[in-house]
């Protein structure tokens, strides 16, 4: 299990901040990278399409300046999420823009496409593909992805239904490349646990909604802080693809979260964006029960680093006690 040079020794914490629809913008990505973790955003967050170039210019220039001022502790690399589902009619345009900026990491979602992987490799980047089961994982690697993001039960947004134990074990039987784990990860101890289970990196999204830089309304941020796992429902009603959402936001939108109808996959239309599904009905994972306040992203990440170090120390003590 070796990380590629793009990531090796460039992170202060083995963590990728997940790309959050609507919520992840340059403010949040830059703060995450400066704090030493991979920051990311969906290309489709930059609207209209010509905003993507403006966003990438800002991110690359601000991180480069930060690196010049902090040569001993440079920023972590950033990632752009590309939805490769056939309905995304911006994909060609957005990939061309990413190529011009030589985006170091592309996170591909909703399908694995060989030509996308080849394009990223051509400019020197790497591709991490998110998957919800072992079958999709094998397809992604067969088509040239460099690594995988295992989206297990409890992750926010479009999440899988498999236990992280089952999903990681099955993937690690045949794949020894870069592997990140997503699902209910909101603390430094959970990050270490992901590594102990076999992942190289943790993948955290919902916790970053409750940060000052997140492009979320105050009500969404406060609902994250006030809620716990029991306040999350798993349904395919919202976009046609199963995901986890906050029950209180559904109730406020006039739905009964305990009696939801079954959705239709034909509802999926990333080209149109369907912003109401994410602006009014809010995605969220199971790990939010440990969150208690809205903080700057850098402060939250510094807390994760301290928690991670304490978890490492306690684990070492446990091992020593068993020796």
What is the pLDDT, as a whole number, of residue 72?
94
Contacts of 276 (CB under 8 A, 6+ apart): none
Gap between the Cα atoms of 281 and 30, Å rounded: 26
Residue 227 falls inside a structural domain: no
- The model's confidence at residue 253, banded by pLDDT at 50, 70 and 90, is confident
Full-prediction pTM beyond 0.75? Answer: yes
Rounded distance, CA 281 to CA 294, Å?
A: 20
Residue 253 lies in a domain: no
Statement: residue 1 has pLDDT above 70: no
- H helices of 275-296, in order, are 275-279
Paired residues of 81 in beta bridges? 42, 107
Q: What pLDDT score does 273 carry?
A: 42
Q: Where are the alpha helices (DSSP H) in the chain?
A: 26-34, 51-69, 91-101, 114-122, 134-142, 164-172, 188-197, 218-226, 247-252, 275-279, 297-322
**275 part of a folded domain:** no
Q: How many CB atoms lie within 10 A of CB 256?
A: 10
CA-based nearest residue to 24, from 151, 207, 237: 207
| Region 107-119 average pLDDT | 94
CA gap 132, 235 in Å, rounded: 15
Supply the range of the domain harboring residue 51.
15-217+286-322
Tokens standing for residue 321:
């006690």
- Beta-carbon count within 10 A of 198 CB: 18
Residue 202: phi and psi, rounded to 5, are -100, 160
pLDDT of residue 110: 86
253 versus 229: the higher-pLDDT residue is: 229
Cα–Cα distance measured from residue 198 to residue 169, given in angstroms and rounded to the nearest whole number: 8
Confirm if 105 and 82 have CB atoms less than 8 A apart. Answer: no
Number of domains observed in the structure of the chain:
1
As given in the structure block, the two tokens for residue 67 are 């690196």
| pLDDT class of 264 with cuts at 50, 70, 90 | low
pLDDT(274) > 50: no
Does a structural domain hold residue 256? Answer: no
**Rounded distance, CA 102 to CA 124, Å?**
7
How is residue 270 annotated by DSSP? T
CA 69, CA 64: separation in Å to the nearest integer? 9
Strand 105-109 with 126-131, pairing:
parallel
Cβ–Cβ < 8 Å for 268, 241: yes
262 part of a folded domain: no
Closest C-alpha to 155, from 307, 11, 19, 43: 19
Instruction: At 112, list the tokens.
Output: 């694995």
Asked, for residue 3, whether it belongs to a domain, the answer is no
Q: What is the per-residue pLDDT across 143-191, written as a single tens digit (0 to 9) for each?
A: 999 999 999 999 998 889 999 999 999 999 999 999 999 999 999 999 9
- What pLDDT score was predicted for residue 261? 81
To the nearest whole number, what is the mean pLDDT of the chain?
93
Instruction: Name which residue leads in pLDDT, 87 or 77.
Output: 77
Cα separation, 296 vs 311, whole angstroms: 23
On the question of pLDDT at 78 being above 90, the answer is yes
- Is 137 contained in some domain? yes
For residue 263, pLDDT beyond 90: no
In a domain, 121, yes or no: yes
Tokens at residue 296, please?
Answer: 């700057």
Residue 266 neighbours by CB distance under 10 Å:
7
* Confidence tier at 270 by pLDDT (50, 70, 90): very low
Nearest to 66 by CA among 20, 30, 109: 30
Q: What is the CATH number of the domain that holds 19?
A: 3.20.20.70
Strands 243-246 and 232-235: antiparallel
């Amino acid at each position: 299990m070796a990380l590629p040079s793009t990531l090796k020794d460039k992170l202060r914490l083995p963590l990728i901040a997940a790309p959050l629809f609507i919520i992840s913008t340059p403010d949040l990505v830059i703060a995450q990278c400066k704090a030493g973790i991979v920051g990311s955003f969906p290309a489709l967050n930059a609207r209209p399409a010509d905003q993507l170039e403006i966003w990438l210019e800002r991110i690359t220039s601000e991180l480069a300046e930060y690196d010049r001022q902090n040569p001993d502790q440079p920023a972590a690399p950033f990632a752009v999420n590309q939805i490769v589902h056939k309905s995304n009619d911006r994909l060609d345009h957005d990939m061309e823009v990413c190529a011009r900026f030589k985006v170091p990491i592309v996170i591909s979602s909703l399908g694995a496409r060989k030509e996308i992987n080849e394009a990223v490799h051509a400019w020197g980047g790497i591709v991490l593909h998110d998957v919800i089961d072992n079958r999709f994982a094998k397809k992604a690697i067969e088509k040239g992805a460099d690594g995988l993001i295992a989206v297990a039960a409890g992750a926010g947004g479009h999440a899988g239904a498999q236990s992280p134990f089952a999903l990681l074990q099955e993937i690690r039987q045949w794949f020894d490349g870069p592997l990140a784990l997503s699902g209910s990860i909101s603390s430094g101890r959970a990050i270490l646990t992901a590594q102990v289970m076999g992942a190289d990196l943790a993948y955290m999204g919902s916790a970053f909604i409750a940060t000052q830089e997140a492009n979320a309304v105050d009500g969404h941020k406060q609902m994250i802080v006030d809620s716990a796992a029991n306040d999350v429902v798993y349904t395919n009603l919202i976009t046609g693809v199963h995901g986890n959402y906050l029950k209180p936001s559904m109730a406020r939108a006039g739905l009964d979260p305990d009696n939801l109808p079954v959705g239709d996959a034909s509802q999926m239309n990333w080209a149109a964006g369907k912003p109401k599904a994410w602006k009014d009905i809010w995605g969220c994972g199971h790990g939010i029960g440990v969150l208690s306040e809205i903080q700057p992203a850098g402060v939250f990440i510094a807390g994760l680093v301290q928690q991670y170090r304490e978890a490492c120390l306690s684990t070492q003590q446990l091992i020593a006690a068993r020796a």
